[in-house]
Structure 1
Amino acid sequence: MPVTRSVDFQQTIPRSLVHRAAVSEVFVTDLNVLGEGRFEVGAQWPRRHSFFGPRTRAFHDPMLYAETVRQAGLLIAHRAYGVPLSHGFLSDHKVYSVSEAGVATEGRPIDVVLEVSAHEVEHRGKNVGGMRLDYECFRDGQRIGTASDRWRCVSPAVYRRVRGDHFAATPFQAALLPAVAPALVGRDRAEDVLVAEAPADGTWSLRFDPDHSVLFDHAVDHVPGMVLIEGARQAALLAIGDPYALPLSVEFEFGSYVEFDSDCQLVVEADDTGSDRTRTVRVEVRQNGATAAHGTLGMRLS
């Protein structure tokens, strides 16, 4: 039955429900079922995080919000819709928008509440096969952001067939390319840099440390969507020449898996600065001559 209690922020939910290996990488704390296809999710943003920031003293990294939305969707899938933990998830479309005030730091952990609604729920027999989840994010009772995530899920047997020869792939198959200077993308450590030195203007190769404790917290056989979005963000920072610009809005479409065993390019085109200090940046993710994903980022200049 639906519950009417307030969401709890005292502890995180089991890490398996959000596909994380480390407890420290879980941000979601609670789930309330409000009614048919309606949910409330609690989450806490840490004062500081080894990868998500804050990138400056003034602001949390908006990608922390994106990761919170990702975790909330998985929690709802498993807890509310009974999707088995063994199923594989395929993301088709992600979008988020958050206000500058919404990611302001206060020198303490931040509690946020996501109000979530499910739409276009698909079934394969008796099992849920996919849906679209829409989100509104609240901080101290004020709405600070929205998001939407469309995904599908498949059984282990189907996933194995879909992945074929790449089923057992690991990030250690990827070539470790030379990183751009970390300061150019607002980072302190080379292992946090996801763009390689560029052979041509407007195009960078995706690179990553396969042993990164956050990006590759658990075993994966392809480049995760969050890694692609972070790579696109860093390429956008290079294109606009502002290492501390905030990606306050992001929209990404995923068309195919990005594999570890061949070069992945980030092709970037940036618009002029708008009246609100925002530059719109379009990023195409290309591999083996084809577009695997593409997205648009709204970068608020620092």
Structure 2
Amino acid sequence: MISESFIARPPSSGTVAGFIAWGTGELAASGIEGARREARLLLEIAYGMTTGWQLGHGDAAIEDAGAFSELVARRARGEPVAHLAGRTGFWTLDLAVSVDTLIPRADSETLIEALLAQRPDRGSVRSVLDLGTGTGCLLLAALSEYTLATGLGVDRVPQAVALAAANARANGLSDRCSFVAGRWDNAISARFDVVLSNPPYIPSGDIPGLMRDVADYEPVSALDGGADGLDDYRILVPALRRLLAPGGVGIFEIGIGQDETVPALGRAAGLRVEDVRCDAGGHPRAVVFVM
């Protein structure tokens, strides 16, 4: 909870070091982990002062603290830093984000790492399909590595499709990809060398217990995987048999505890499980299927 002192008396001016200390205290009091690091990030968002610059200019004056105070208040209520900044980094890309899509996270980069391990020859991939594309992060990251490839991103949310297309333009990849609004693989008749997906996989009953910056600010439709978290895998995994080109690879993100159930769905559909790759935290995160 935000303290009464913050609500009634946000500072009007001060030094960089003073504002970092104040912001750190307010964020820590509201339960934000890494409060000092986040205070520095918010100061950078508000005034363009990089963390490196802040470290060397702690006594620099800030005459109008309104922008910083507002960001601290919003973050203390749980609003994600990426939403406050309007963008985030993913792989080697800079991506715009919005409330209409999941915020790209480092865990999802595991899918790109798995793809590179499976297809180290950068000329070996010519077509990529991304189901539930959101910001376009997976498709655009794949295209940035496989420069001869073209791709298609599908999302049922029209606003997400527009955002992904804008991210493609901003990263110089719009000439090699397109985005359409649709429900998963409906009406797709082509086959692809690579199919990527980060479907909703949180069991419905677990969503209220997620961190508030996820549960309160990210779209439930992109989180809720049904009673056991597997609803969308039951659709997507069997679809790989008609979506993958001969020798193709399908890579799906999974949640905690799904490293046996999702591969089992693939085996039941006649697919081979080539790999289950862990993220940086050591959690199984990407299942690799091949025809």
- TM-score between the two structures when normalised by the length of structure 1: 0.24
- TM-score between the two structures when normalised by the length of structure 2: 0.25
Larger Rg: 2
Q: Whose strand proportion is higher, 1 or 2?
A: 1
